[in-house]
Amino acid sequence: MRALSICSCFCLLMMVQPTVAQPSADSLLVRYRQMALDYDDDLKAATKRIEACSELERAARSERIPTLSAGGDFRYTGNPLEYSTDLPDIGSITLQGQNWRYGASATLSQPLYTGGRITGTIQMAESETRMSEAQREILHTEICYRVDIQYWTTVARYERMYVADEYLRAVSDLERLVRERVEAGVCDRQELLTVEVKHNEARYRLLQAQSDFEIGRMALNALIGQPLDTQIPITNNLPDIAPGASELPQPTLHPNIRLAQERIKWEKSNLLFRDATYKPQLQLGANAGYFAPGYDFRPDLSPNYTLYAQLSVPIFHGGKRHRERRAAEYRIGMANDVLHQTETDLNLETRTARTALSEAAERVTLALSSLDKANENERRATEKYTEGTISISEVIDAQIYRQTAQENLISAKVAALIHFSELMKATDAYRF
* Res. 409: pLDDT tops 90: yes
Percent of the chain scored above 70 by pLDDT? Answer: 82
Measure the CA–CA gap between 430 and 201, rounded to whole angstroms. Answer: 42
* Res. 8: pLDDT tops 50: no
Q: pLDDT class for 311, splitting at 50, 70, 90?
A: confident
Ramachandran assignment for 225, one of left (phi > 0), alpha (psi -120 to 50 degrees), beta (any other): left
Mean pLDDT value across the chain: 85
pLDDT at 186: 77
pTM of the full predicted structure? 0.80
Residue ranges and CATH numbers for the domains of the chain are 23-65+115-279+319-426 (1.20.1600.10)
**pLDDT tens digit sequence for 87-134:** 676 666 655 556 666 778 888 898 888 888 899 999 999 999 999 999
Hey, CA dihedral for 211, 215, 216, 218, is it positive or negative? positive
pLDDT at 122: 93
* Res. 266: pLDDT tops 90: yes
pLDDT at 7: 43
**pLDDT tens digit sequence for 171-185:** 999 899 888 888 888
Range name among 7-16, 58-67, 245-254, 313-322 with the lowest pLDDT average: 7-16
pLDDT at 16: 32
pLDDT at 260: 96
Are 266 and 134 in contact, with CB atoms under 8 Å apart?
Answer: no
Tell me if residue 346 falls in helix, strand or coil: helix
pLDDT at 9: 41
Number of neighbours of residue 211 by Cβ within 10 angstroms: 12
Task: Calculate the alpha carbon distances from 269 to 258, 263, 272, 355 in Å.
Answer: 16, 10, 5, 41
Q: pLDDT class for 1, splitting at 50, 70, 90?
A: very low
Measure the CA–CA gap between 16 and 280, rounded to whole angstroms. Answer: 82
Average pLDDT over residues 274-284: 88
Any residues with CB less than 8 A from the CB of 345 and at least 6 apart, and which?
256
Higher pLDDT, 198 or 83: 198
Long-range contacts of 285-290 (CB under 8 A, 24+ apart): 285/107, 285/108, 285/109, 285/110, 285/309, 285/310, 286/107, 286/108, 286/109, 287/105, 287/106, 287/107, 287/108, 288/105, 288/106, 289/103, 289/104, 289/105, 289/106, 290/103, 290/104, 290/105
